[in-house]
Homo-oligomer: A and B are copies of this chain.
């Protein structure tokens, strides 16, 4: 099943989130089966990441967006934990610091884009600047409305310079969000995660929907696609993200690089060294 194409937002297409079932689970009625596949995919991701790291030819930038409790942290924990941290960094974007706010909105993101062979996962991202900033009028419309094109140009430049981009919108509905907030209340070890925004943002649900729809519509491009991931079921969300990741990696058709040194010469050196030690 080609989940890459299935869940990709076709560039230029209109997005109506109501038409996307957040509880969608495709052919996977069996949770256990899906979890098994995700475990296998994680091993595949591990191998492919190693090859990308060795190759040092391209970078991968992953963007995770979604409402509060949509599962951004969970996706990191279940899918991206597969990666060797040596080549994979997760950056969480919070409310901008004073210094960050004194720069254009892409400045703090650009500083942490991945280098060759590396992966960066943005947990929230520059898209916050057309989401929360738009919904709460933190900047006027004439400012945020120009940002879609600015984002596209930025992502295009990254792509043209060797950074592959994948953007995941984790799609849950209002009932599922409330359920998750309640679970945080019931588990003492989860209490610390509860923040005021959990409930103060809920009245803005529809405004966020509009803002997400516009970002998905205007910024899903050939060079930096958005994927809408049905996320009410965490195990299905993990499976879909893992499959898309593997599909992207495989499209790179990677190869281990040629050694930078003369292997024959080194074999001779080692041979001589062992001989010398034996002679002594």
Residues on A facing B (Cβ under 8 Å): 54, 73, 76-77, 80-81, 83-86, 88-90, 92, 121, 123, 178, 181-182, 185, 188-189, 191-196, 198-199, 202, 256-261, 263, 266-267, 269-270, 273-274
Contact = CB atoms under 8 A, between A and B. Distances in A.
A90 B88 CA distance: 8
A263 B86 contact: no
23 contacts: A54-B189, A54-B193, A73-B86, A76-B84, A77-B86, A81-B81, A81-B85, A83-B85, A85-B90, A85-B121, A86-B90, A89-B89, A178-B273, A181-B266, A185-B266, A191-B256, A191-B263, A192-B256, A192-B258, A192-B259, A195-B260, A198-B266, A199-B270
Contact of A84 (B81, B188, B202): B81
A63 to B, nearest CB: 15
A85 B86 contact: no
Contacts of A54: 189, 192-193
Contacts of A81: 81, 84-85
A263 B89 contact: no
Contacts of A270: 178, 181-182, 185, 199
Assembly of this chain: how many copies?
2
Contact of A80 (B77, B85, B195): B85
List the 10 closest pairs (A to B, CB-CB), nearest first.
Answer: A191-B259, A86-B90, A85-B90, A192-B257, A85-B85, A76-B86, A54-B192, A194-B259, A199-B269, A192-B256
A258 B196 CA distance: 14
B178 A274 contact: yes
Contacts of A90: 85-86
Contacts of A84: 76-77, 81
Given A54-B189, A86-B92, 12 more contacts: A76-B84, A77-B84, A81-B81, A81-B84, A85-B85, A85-B89, A185-B267, A188-B256, A192-B256, A192-B258, A195-B260, A199-B269
A135 to B, nearest CB: 19
Contact of A263 (B185, B260, B263, B274): B185
Nearest to A188: B256
Contacts of A258: 191-192
